[in-house]
Structure 1
């Protein structure tokens, strides 16, 4: 009992026990992890602007709704080319001596996973419009708007980055919406989020629990259902080109009445879907990502999307077949990385 009555011995023992546990439970495993895991050979470090954007991401609580981890289940294939591995997070460094930095893997996916968002959606214009008011590009979005990252000026000044905002989202205010430094930094961080390719000789993690085809009552595989082009368009294209196909003025070109969409030869449209396009940036339109490649769309899915675009909003072009699209995919090849 003398030990428990002697506060010096009691608190010294408790302190030494705490230090010992910290060393063996926290510090040694952390050092071991640093030894066993290194950044991937092709990993690109964050730029200074992106590092500041990461701080903005953290301060605004974005991790509460967005994860940065592609799980090894088949349903996560839309978020990355492969499941995430420990090396993806090995390049996180301490903020300073006293503070560690967040990995931002997240625990809840209310919004889309951001692991590979820099490849899925590289357009700065899209992200700025989305930050000002997510409903501009995704009508059903429940994400809050971040208008305090922008200011409205009567006239755009040299060096300002303006944002295309439809009149109905201006709340009656007049002028040009200009992104503040924190908005540009946040977008720089989001654009930097790209999944690093693994070396060719490295073991490739696989996605598990893939859904198999439906069976009929006699146990045979059911005939494939006709793909819903409107749904595929919604999932892959609508956030930029809008539900009505009219795009967003000054940011994303319209598909309604588009010469590319209506062309009898659909080769250019297939090329754009598979490889992306940046030829209209001088007109103020953002670069289009390689949607078909990034989302690993099959010829049947691309054909369904194209047919929706070619027959909707007053467009009346001839439909294409999956075989046509497959031949064109082989012809244009995939140059997107």
Structure 2
């Protein structure tokens, strides 16, 4: 009883227990994880602008709505090619002595997961328009706009990054919308978020609770029953080309009435989906990323998307089958490989 009546002994015992538990539960496991989870071979260190952008991301509370963790469940496949592992975060370090914002995994997914947003959406033009006003590219978005990261100039200076904002979203102020250094740094951070491939021979974690595979049905030209071209278009294409297929003037080209979409020969369209396209940069449109390759789309999914585009918004083109698309995917992949080898 003397021990419990001596406040000094009681305090020192409680302090010692606290320090012991801190060592065993927090410090030693952290050191173990740091030692046994090295950065993946292809992981890149954040550039100076990306680091500044990360601080802006934190300052604006983006982590409250966006996660950076692909869970090992099938519904998370849309955010990355594989579930996240500890090594994905091993290259992150403290912001400074006082702030530990090494990882921004988040806890709530009000907005899309950003683990691989740099791969899914590499276009700086899209990110800047989205930051200026998210409703420009996603009508139903609940994300706040960040107009204070932009300035309006009647005559942009050489080197200014002009944002192609549709006229209806501009204020009465005349001039061009120009991205500030803060906006460009934030976009640099977002573009740096890319899921790295695992080293050869290392098994990737599996996605659990896989959805039931659809069965093939005779008479559907090899399409998978239940594939929704409208939903697949919304998930993979709509953020740029818009729900109505009209794109955004000066930013993203329309699919409505597009010669490529209406062409009865779908080879060029498949080539663009799988390998990207930069043929309209001179017109002010940014390069299109290889959505089909990036998102690991199957022939059935690509054919469903193409048929939606070919038969929507007044388009009336010849539809395609999954078998046709599979053959063309192999063809354009061979052509792309040959082109890269020639370089």
Report if TM-score (shorter chain) is over 0.5: yes
| 2:69 paired residue number | 69
Write the distance in 2 (CA, Å) between the matches of 1:231 and 1:275: 22
Change (3 A) 1:226 1:202: closer
- Structure 2 residue 259 is matched with structure 1 residue 266: no
How far apart are residue 3 of structure 1 and its match? 4.6
| 2:26 paired residue number | 26
- Structure 2 residue 150 is matched with structure 1 residue 153: no
TM-score by length of 2: 0.90
How far apart are residue 279 of structure 1 and its match? 3.0
Write the distance in 1 (CA, Å) between the matches of 2:298 and 2:203: 25
Write the distance in 1 (CA, Å) between the matches of 2:26 and 2:13: 19
1:206-236: CA deviations, max 9, x gaps?
1111112479xxxxxxx95353322322221
| 2:276 paired residue number | 276
- Structure 2 residue 299 is matched with structure 1 residue 304: no
CA contact (8 A) 2:248 2:254 kept: yes
Unaligned runs of 5+ in 1: 216-222
How far apart are residue 77 of structure 1 and its match? 0.8
| 1:114 paired residue number | 114
Change (3 A) 1:292 1:159: same
Show the 5 A alignment for 1:27-42: 27-42=27-42
Number of equivalenced pairs: 330
Change (3 A) 1:284 1:224: closer
CA contact (8 A) 2:95 2:102 kept: no
Secondary structure at the aligned position of 2:178 is classed as: strand
- Structure 2 residue 250 is matched with structure 1 residue 225: no
1:235-277: CA deviations, max 9, x gaps?
2111101122221122111112222222232111101101112
Show the 5 A alignment for 1:173-188: 173-188=173-188
| 1:219 paired residue number | none
| 1:189 paired residue number | 189
Write the distance in 2 (CA, Å) between the matches of 1:98 and 1:132: 31
Show the 5 A alignment for 1:1-337: 3=3, 6-213=6-213, 224-225=224-225, 227-333=227-333
CA contact (8 A) 1:53 1:186 kept: yes
Write the distance in 2 (CA, Å) between the matches of 1:108 and 1:213: 29
CA contact (8 A) 1:122 1:287 kept: no
How far apart are residue 319 of structure 1 and its match? 1.7
Write the distance in 2 (CA, Å) between the matches of 1:165 and 1:224: 39
Secondary structure at the aligned position of 1:333 is classed as: helix
Write the distance in 1 (CA, Å) between the matches of 2:235 and 2:99: 39
* Greater Cα offset, 61-70 or 278-287: 278-287
Secondary structure at the aligned position of 1:189 is classed as: helix
How far apart are residue 160 of structure 1 and its match? 1.1
Write the distance in 2 (CA, Å) between the matches of 1:198 and 1:289: 22
Write the distance in 1 (CA, Å) between the matches of 2:274 and 2:4: 73
Write the distance in 1 (CA, Å) between the matches of 2:124 and 2:244: 22
CA contact (8 A) 2:93 2:102 kept: no
Write the distance in 1 (CA, Å) between the matches of 2:98 and 2:2: 38
Unaligned runs of 5+ in 2: 216-222, 338-343
CA contact (8 A) 2:3 2:10 kept: yes
Write the distance in 1 (CA, Å) between the matches of 2:236 and 2:214: 24
RMSD of equivalent CA atoms: 2.2
Write the distance in 2 (CA, Å) between the matches of 1:17 and 1:10: 11
How far apart are residue 288 of structure 1 and its match? 1.2
